[in-house]
Structure 1
Amino acid sequence: MQTFDLIVVGTGSAGQTVAQKARQAGKTVAIIDKLPFGGTCSQRGCDPKKVLVGAAEVVARATQMTDKGITSVPTIDWPALMAFKKTFTDPVPDNTVRKFDDLGLQSFHGIATFTSPNSLRVGQDEVQAKHIVIAAGARPQPLGIPGEDLLIDSTGFLELPQLPSEIVMVGGGYIAFEFAHIAARAGANVTILHKGMRPLEGFDADVVNLLVKAMEAIGVHIVLEANVIAVEQKSDELSVCYEQSGKTETLATRLVVHAAGRVADVAELALDKAGVDVGEKGVKVNGYLQSVSNPAVYACGDVADKGLPLTPLASYEGRIVADNILNGNKQTFMNDPVPTTVFTVPPLASIGLTEEQASQQGRQVNVLFQETTDWYSSRRTNEFISGFKTLVDKDTNQVVGAHILGSGSDELINLFTLAIKHRISAKALGDMLLAYPTHGSDLSYMLSED
């Protein structure tokens, strides 16, 4: 049995942050991962996805400008694009291990399983510590349908050597929408099957409707209230069975992608032996990100039941956990608004309250919703669908929500984040003199109907 001051399970943004800060403070630290070291974002999520999105953006921009000065549209060479993506992802595990070695972290590769409230087994090794941090991330949630093994997940999609001509995405969230845009721009016929009444439920409905129009315009077929019940292999095709309006429908395709949400990756941890409680959203933690049932255990990142599953939040939570372990519980998780982007083409960016949420909270807000395809920032690249919605508190003149669809929205949303975080009034934000012509210079028009 090896003893450490701290054991961290998971090597993504949250786990690395905790481990590094504890080691820099002189603590002995073990870090464990069953997957290649470096976490999801850098290898199987945000970073490689955005590389593929970059290619889709090139195709989209050229398509929009055809007959407007551009004479031909490029095509995506999928194998070459994947090879380029690998230049980002392939070095990550070795680089991460070298980083751990340089820091003096002891790393273990394998499945971690609790054997007691403060000890774990990894293969043939047993380790124990005063504090254990669970930062194991999330995994695709089980669908519980016949033929589930015929689906690939987001990791599989990002490793496809060739892109099939027909693809079905099961789910209507970030992953389905982002991958649908990449695949469609690369020439595939894509269908999204979503069991809900509308996709991207956490985003503003009016702005999402604009995005749906943009998707349908490039040939992505979105089927709502479609509950997938089975997937079958038929010769060289897959048959997807789903229920809609009381009827059973079938759809033939070449590939089915699981994009129906993720759950905390804790199934193999044997948390019952550690006395750690888990809920639907993950490990149950208090405001200090400490397990509510085992004070020796903390959890942060996607595996914990606080916050959104976003990389910046994972790092933020990791800093909180590290500080609380090193200095006693003093830092608490603050559920401040965090910007998030669906990297479709064009992207959809959001922060703060939706109009629906503001109404549910009884907030008195001024709501401004507008399509902006006739604005210069959209017309100069012939972007055929763009728009925004902003919400400003009537009493305080504070921005409480911003939702933007269009090129540049993924950067523009950061200005709204700054305003919300530092309580810059909508008037002061709109009065700022920003570089022109830029997407930022549109900001004043998003805050006033004048």
Structure 2
Amino acid sequence: MKKYDVFVIGSGMSGMTAANKCASKGLKVGITDELPYGGTCALRGCDPKKVIIGATEVRDFAQRLKGNGIDTIPKVNWEDIMAFKQSFVDAMPPKIEKAYKNKDIDTYHTAAKFLSDNTLQVGDEVIEADKIVIATGAKPRILDFEGGEYALSSTDFLNLKELPQSLLFIGGGYIAFEFAHIAARAGAEVTIVHRSKKPLENFEQDIVEHLVNATEELGIKLILETEVSGIEKTEEGYNVKGNKNGKDVSFTVEAVFNSAGRPPAIFDLDLEKANISYSKKGIAVNEYLQSTSNPRIYAAGDAADTRGLPLTPVAVLEGHTLASNIIKGNKKEVSYPPMPTVVFTHPTMASVGLTEKQANEKGIQYKVNYKSADDWFNAKRLNVKEYAFKTIEDQEEQILLGAHLIGPNSEEVINIFAMAIKTKMKLQELRTMIFAYPTMASDIPHML
């Protein structure tokens, strides 16, 4: 039996952060992951997705400026962009493992299961640890209808050798929209099927409407209020069956993708053997990110049930927090600053702080500024149809509560709003800031 001060399950951003920080303070640390080191973001999510999006951004920009200085619209070379993406992905696992070894962190490459409150079966090894960190992230929801196994995952999409001519995404969240926009601009026919009345339900719906318009303008079929009930393999590809308002519907496509949510990847760990409380939202933790039922256990990132959004920077913050508590004892409560989140479609949609609904539920005296800014200079020079904002202000405190944007570079502009909310900058100070002009940020004073 091998013994460690700290053993980490999962080598994504939260697990990596915790392992490195604990090792830097002289603790004996081990880490395992059944998948290549790096986690979802670096290998199967944000980073490779953003590399692929780069090519579609160029095509989108050229299409908007055709006839206004651009004559030829470039095509996306799928094989080339996938090779470019892979150069980033392939570099990560060996780089991460080398860094672990430099810090004397023992590395394992297999699944882990609990044997007791402080022991694990890791491959052929039985491991005992004073503290165990669960940082296993999330994985695609299992589709439990007939033929659900035919649906490919977001990881599969990011590794497609060739792009199918027709694709269908099950689910109306950010993964479906981002990948649908990529595929459509790369030349595929795309359908999104979502069971609810509104897609992207956690975002400000006034802004989502603009993204829906942009999505349909791109030729993507958005089918709402439709529950997928089965997938049938055919000679042409797949027949996706569903029910819309009591009527049977079907769609024939070459490929189907499961983008119906990502639950925490904790249900194969035999948590019961370690007396670890959990729910479908993740490991139950206290304000120190420590298990509420087993003090030896800590959890972070998508595997933990916290107030943090399922975002990479949040996972890093939680990794730092729990590592500090392991090293020094429980002295650091997890504290979340405003968490900006982005849907990387074209146009991008970004959000930080409270929605109008949340402000209303809190009983705050607030003011809303909502406007489509498609007639502003920045929209005209870039020839964009969807450029809009919704800001929510605290009337009593005269500070910003929330900002919700759609349009060019909203993924960057939202960070300025995040800083304003975190620092509780007075609205008048933000209104009188001098921003470089003409930039997208120079529109901020007019959004307040």
Partner of 2:260: 260
Partner of 1:136: 136
SS at 2:305 equivalent: coil
- AA aligned to 2:118 is N
Structure 1 residue 38, shift from structure 2 partner: 1.1
The answer to whether 1:86 aligns with 2:89 is no
Superposition CA RMSD, Å: 0.8
SS at 1:210 equivalent: helix
Q: What are the within-5 Å matches in structure 2 for residues 206-217 of structure 1?
A: 206-217=206-217
Partner of 1:300: 300
Structure 1 residue 244, shift from structure 2 partner: 0.8
Partner of 1:407: 408
* CA deviations over 1:85-113 (Å, ceiling 9, x no partner): 00110111111111111111000110100
* CA deviations over 1:360-406 (Å, ceiling 9, x no partner): 22222110111111111111111121111000011001100100000
- AA aligned to 2:369 is L
Within 2, Cα distance between the matches of 1:255 and 1:99?
39
Partner of 2:102: 102
Partner of 1:204: 204
Structure 1 residue 352, shift from structure 2 partner: 0.8
Contact 2:140/2:153 (<8 A) preserved:
yes
Partner of 2:357: 356
Structure 1 residue 57, shift from structure 2 partner: 0.8
Within 2, Cα distance between the matches of 1:337 and 1:142?
31
Unpaired runs of 5+ residues, structure 1, are: none
Structure 1 residue 336, shift from structure 2 partner: 3.4
Structure 1 residue 236, shift from structure 2 partner: 2.8
Within 1, Cα distance between the matches of 2:412 and 2:34?
35
Partner of 2:145: 145
Structure 1 residue 150, shift from structure 2 partner: 0.5
- AA aligned to 2:25 is A
The answer to whether 1:183 aligns with 2:174 is no
Partner of 1:165: 165
The answer to whether 1:446 aligns with 2:447 is yes
Q: What are the within-5 Å matches in structure 2 for residues 45-444 of structure 1?
A: 45-306=45-306, 307-444=308-445
Runs of 4+ in 1 over 3 A off after TM superposition: none
Within 1, Cα distance between the matches of 2:102 and 2:309?
31
Within 1, Cα distance between the matches of 2:211 and 2:194?
15
- AA aligned to 2:426 is S
Within 2, Cα distance between the matches of 1:423 and 1:69?
43
- AA aligned to 1:215 is T
Unpaired runs of 5+ residues, structure 2, are: none
Structure 1 residue 54, shift from structure 2 partner: 1.1
* CA deviations over 1:204-244 (Å, ceiling 9, x no partner): 00100001001100101111111111001011310001111
State the TM-score, normalized to the length of structure 2.
Answer: 0.99
Within 1, Cα distance between the matches of 2:337 and 2:396?
20
Contact 2:52/2:85 (<8 A) preserved:
yes
Contact 2:143/2:149 (<8 A) preserved:
no
Within 2, Cα distance between the matches of 1:336 and 1:95?
30
SS at 2:285 equivalent: coil
- AA aligned to 1:154 is S
Within 2, Cα distance between the matches of 1:372 and 1:324?
47
Identity within the alignment, %: 44
- AA aligned to 2:96 is T
Structure 1 residue 337, shift from structure 2 partner: 2.4
Contact 2:56/2:185 (<8 A) preserved:
yes
